[in-house]
Amino acid sequence: MCALAHSRGNVEAGAPLLSCYNPAMLISTKFTHADLLEAPDDGKRREIVEGELFVTPSPNLDHQRISRRIGLAMANYLEANPVGEMFYAPMDVILSDFDVLEPDLLVVLNEHRDILKTWVEGTPDLVIEILSPTTSKRDRGVKLKAYARHGVTEYWIVDPDQRIIEVYRLDRERYLAPRVFREPEHITSSMLPSFSLPVSRVFNP
């Protein structure tokens, strides 16, 4: 459709002209898991929240050590109490077409094993994120909201700088104020009966 525009040049001043140029169109692109499969294998972590792509560098050594300590404690617990299965990053957790996250660790209970396919295609029962300077804001912001929105029952945020673990538990579609575990306390989980891990073991070599 043509629009009226003010004239310039040889046409009488003030006379309207027809303009048949379309206005600029803003194109919004939302990323999906299919886009992640086309990404280069460069060691970077790629996640999607509400269609927005986030790319972060690979974790540092302290991050990996903390992940290993928590993972080892959970693996030992699940071997003695086979109530579910634990996975480490990198592992895509496909919550929806436009929400694909990669938590540092996650647990899927046996009653929800149907979500374990090529990737985790559904909502885990427990997810754990270890903060780093490049992920802290996102882990406490858009990712926390995404986990709550999709029904992750328990969400741990491990803060190496403060040497604390914040445990969020779901109430409907939002998380309650976290229980904060500090040294010399032991971390417990509503998802893992009788699980107990000293906070000091998470952060100390």
Q: Looking at residues 63-71, what average pLDDT do you find?
A: 97
State residue 43's pLDDT score: 83
pLDDT at 112 over 80: yes
State residue 20's pLDDT score: 44
Confidence grade of residue 42 (pLDDT, cut at 50, 70, 90): confident
**pLDDT tens digits for range 139-195:** 999 999 999 999 999 999 999 999 999 999 999 889 999 999 999 999 999 999 999
Q: Which residues pair with 19 in a beta bridge?
A: 3
Cis-peptide, bond into residue 184, ω within 30° of zero? yes
**pLDDT tens digits for range 164-175:** 999 999 998 899
Q: Looking at residues 61-73, what average pLDDT do you find?
A: 97
**pLDDT tens digits for range 122-137:** 999 999 999 999 899 9
State residue 173's pLDDT score: 86
**pLDDT tens digits for range 74-100:** 999 999 999 999 999 999 999 999 999
State residue 156's pLDDT score: 98
Residue 69's Cβ-side half-sphere holds a number of Cα atoms within 13 Å equal to 20
State residue 28's pLDDT score: 54
State residue 186's pLDDT score: 98
- Phi, psi of 12, deg, nearest 5: -50, 130
Residue, of 19 and 114, whose pLDDT is higher = 114
Is residue 188 exposed (0-12), middle (13-18) or buried (19+ Cβ within 10 Å)?
Answer: middle
